[in-house]
Amino acid sequence: MGIIVQKFGGTSVADPQKIHNVAKAVIREKENGNDVVVVVSAMGHTTDHLIKLAKEVTSTPDSREMDMLLSTGEQVSIALLAMAIQSHGYKAVSMNGQQVGIVTECIHSKARIVDIKTDKLQKKIEEGNIIVVAGFQGVTPDGEITTLGRGGSDTSAVAIAAALKADRCDIYTDVEGVYATDPRIVPNIQKTDVISYEEMLELARVGANVLHPRSVETAKQFNVPLRVRSSFKLDNLGTLIIGVDNMEIYKPVAGVAADSSQIRILLSELPDIPGTAAKLFGSLAKSNISVDMIIQSLASNGTNSIAFTVDAEDFESTMTTLEALKAELKAGEILIDKDIAKVSIVGAGMVDRPGIAADMFRSLAENNINIKMISTSEIKISCLVEKENAKNAIKALCKEFGLESTESADVKGDLPDV
Ligand code: ASP
Ligand code: MG
């Protein structure tokens, strides 16, 4: 008999009927002979509504009070789910983050979990209970309530699975698992049966909205086998996410994703002397701006130009930093390009296979898509393209790397959001 941690998102517990369906899925796992800990998010769009409510009271809500407010959403759903499970004749008990002892750092609205106490959980499990835990929330060593950032319940579930040394953590969603790309763009897309933590993390970083990236990081760190599976088709096993050493890799590319939230900035005519890039990126780092792609190139007149991309959210502060630095750097012009998207292919199988980058570039060229910047890592190749070409690029790349399927993906509700 093992321990299984299950996680259900907001859409799965959106109304009483759905809460009963979740209760059945939980009981089914218990009937398989396992101890079950189930982590839930707030019902439906509760968190969005609470944020809206706070903004109606003040445009600058205090972050401690925001956490106090938002943590109530999950407290509602755990109580209701525990009642539903009990109504089917099983023992269940709900616990909030504080009761479990999900200890976080004291950073309101995006705290990281530092420790999970297991004694109370273990005791309740031994008493024969199904435990229903509030996702997304924790408590600081001083007893302050914190939340983990939007979509944080995935991370709560994986961290609890790691702490309890669970056999598996199952993340239930509206879709049947992880697809090789967004099925709204390519409906006839393959579902992935097995993918590595490394690939899943890269895909999450480059724009795939399946799992909260920190949940995958935690799963990787503690080697927790993770499944993304459908809450409508309980017999389907979905997608298994495990360590790369434990899997056979047949295909070079596991997934394709696009991110349209970046802006490209180009500084021209920078003097070609030591320290220029250090000064530029040092100042950006000091302003807490993370830079993604970077290209430096030497012009025929002996000056450099440096192009880089930042998240659109950081655009204003990037420009303020650059304006202050422009004279000191002796930069010529600052050019801005907002109509861009970064399209990436990810796959652990590309490590030992030459020519994957060339195949990507050729496929884009055949579709008349111009590449503005390129960056690579061991298991990822990204190309910056015009925003209007992003969807076509995804379609072309899915075809190029054999990720299409003969059947259409079954997408029930909204795709899971992070
Ligand atoms: N309820 C929180 C949110 O909407 C946490 C979660 O759903 O994972 O972001
Ligand atoms: Mg989610």
Establish if 23 belongs to a structural domain: yes
User: Could you give phi then psi for residue 146, rounded to 5 degrees?
Assistant: -130, 165
pLDDT digits (tens, 9 = 90+) for 389-402: 999 999 999 999 99
Closest of 241, 265, 276, 207 to residue 348, by C-alpha? 241
CA of 175 to the centre of ligand 2 (A): 12
Is 260:407 a contact under the CB 8 Å cutoff? no
pLDDT digits (tens, 9 = 90+) for 262-316: 999 999 999 999 999 999 999 999 998 999 999 999 988 889 999 999 999 999 9
pLDDT at 137 over 50: yes
pLDDT band at 121 (very low <50, low <70, confident <90, very high): very high
The per-residue pLDDT for 244 is 85
How much is the pTM?
Answer: 0.85
Domain ranges, residue 13: 3-173
pLDDT digits (tens, 9 = 90+) for 234-243: 999 999 999 9
The per-residue pLDDT for 387 is 97
CA of 141 to the centre of ligand 2 (A): 26
Task: Report the residue among 7, 8, 47 best suited for mutation to probe ligand 1: largest number of ligand atoms under 8 A from its CB.
Answer: 47
pLDDT band at 418 (very low <50, low <70, confident <90, very high): very low
Ligand 1: residues with CB < 6 A are: 9-10, 41-42, 47, 73, 135-136, 150-153
Establish if 79 belongs to a structural domain: yes
The rounded percent of the chain whose pLDDT value lies above 90 is 87
Is 68:145 a contact under the CB 8 Å cutoff? yes
CA of 3 to the centre of ligand 2 (A): 22
pLDDT at 171 over 70: yes
> Which atom of ligand 1 is nearest the CA belonging to 153?
8
CA of 157 to the centre of ligand 1 (A): 12
CA of 369 to the centre of ligand 1 (A): 37
Establish if 73 belongs to a structural domain: yes
- 380: three-class secondary structure by DSSP: strand
For 97, 270, 322, the CA distances from 78, given in Å and listed in that order, are: 11, 57, 48
Establish if 198 belongs to a structural domain: no
Cβ < 5 A residues, ion ligand 2: 9, 151
The per-residue pLDDT for 263 is 97
Domain at 161, CATH number: 3.40.1160.10
Q: How many domains are contained in the chain?
A: 1
pLDDT digits (tens, 9 = 90+) for 347-361: 999 998 889 999 999
Establish if 39 belongs to a structural domain: yes
pLDDT at 225 over 50: yes
Task: Quote the mean pLDDT of the chain.
Answer: 94
CA of 379 to the centre of ligand 2 (A): 25
pLDDT digits (tens, 9 = 90+) for 147-156: 999 999 999 9
Ligand nearest to the CA of 150: 1
Establish if 308 belongs to a structural domain: no
Average pLDDT for 163-190: 93
> Which atom of ligand 1 is nearest the CA belonging to 150?
9
User: Could you give phi then psi for residue 246, rounded to 5 degrees?
Assistant: -95, 10
Establish if 418 belongs to a structural domain: no
Average pLDDT for 208-234: 91
Ligand nearest to the CA of 40: 1
pLDDT band at 412 (very low <50, low <70, confident <90, very high): low
Establish if 141 belongs to a structural domain: yes
